């Protein structure tokens, strides 16, 4: 309950500060601060302890960062053999996955969380590296039981799954984005959202924009 009260108070403070701030840059920073807060307050679900676990299609899952060894054991029992890790080791370890023989692909992309507030805000403007998204799509397309995860399983994971849905499943970009938002993708994270806006169905073309 206190977390929601704090969120409401910060939302009000951000709104009032923005109204009385003349600098466009300062206003933008305030609203990004709010976006960081909203990410931390997003709706969460747990399946056998795994945060925001969703089966996207047969052989493909998405989630937040698994923590306990029992969560990795559960995922392996569901058919997961390969892991695409989109967050940084500072945000959570996948040592439990490698310990039971899962193949972990470390493909960390921004925004990295769990740093100081300034870095958290700055990282929301950083667009992901195309080379890492290409590698992630290769792992997913190869199949064999793949889990894609970041820290919360919403934004970085949402982008990568959205790209896969368009490129491999031939889903329309609008439908893929609707699915991303349903799974709590935050367009306030400018780097990820701008990348998606420029994505036209091929990862080679997006680098030209």
Report whether the peptide linkage leading into residue 200 is cis, meaning its omega lies within 30 degrees of zero.
Answer: no
The 10 Å CB-count burial string (b at 16+, else e) for 198-208 is ebeeebeebee
Q: What is the pLDDT of residue 43?
A: 75
What pLDDT tens digit does each residue of the chain (209 aa) get? 434 434 444 444 444 444 444 555 554 555 555 555 555 556 789 999 999 999 999 999 999 999 999 999 999 999 999 999 999 999 999 999 999 999 999 999 999 876 555 566 788 899 999 999 999 999 999 999 999 999 999 999 999 999 999 999 999 999 999 999 999 999 999 999 999 999 999 987 554 34
Cβ burial, residue 5 (10 Å; 0-12/13-18/19+): exposed
Q: What is the pLDDT of residue 113?
A: 73
Kindly report the length of the chain: 209
CA distance 177 to 67: 28
The structural domains of the chain, ordered by start, are 2-40 (no CATH), 46-208 (3.90.190.10)
């Amino acid at each position: 309950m206190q977390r929601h009260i704090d969120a409401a108070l910060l939302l009000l403070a951000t709104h009032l500060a923005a109204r009385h701030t003349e600098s466009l840059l300062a206003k933008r920073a305030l609203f990004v601060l709010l976006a960081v807060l909203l990410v931390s307050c997003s709706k969460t679900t747990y399946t056998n302890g795994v945060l925001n676990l969703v089966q996207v299609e047969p052989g493909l899952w998405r989630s937040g960062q698994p923590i306990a060894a029992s969560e990795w054991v559960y995922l392996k029992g569901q058919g997961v053999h390969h892991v695409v890790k989109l967050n940084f080791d500072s945000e959570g370890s996948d040592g439990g996955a490698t310990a039971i023989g899962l193949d972990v692909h470390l493909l960390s992309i921004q925004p990295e969380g769990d740093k100081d507030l300034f870095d958290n805000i700055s990282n929301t403007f950083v667009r992901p590296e195309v080379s890492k998204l290409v590698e992630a799509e290769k792992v997913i397309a190869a199949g064999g039981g793949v889990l894609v995860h970041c820290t919360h399983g919403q934004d970085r994971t949402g982008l990568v799954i959205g790209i896969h849905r368009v490129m491999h499943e031939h889903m329309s970009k609008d439908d893929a984005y609707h699915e991303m938002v349903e799974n709590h993708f935050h367009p306030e994270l400018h780097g990820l959202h701008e990348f998606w806006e420029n994505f036209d169905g091929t990862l080679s073309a997006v680098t030209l924009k």
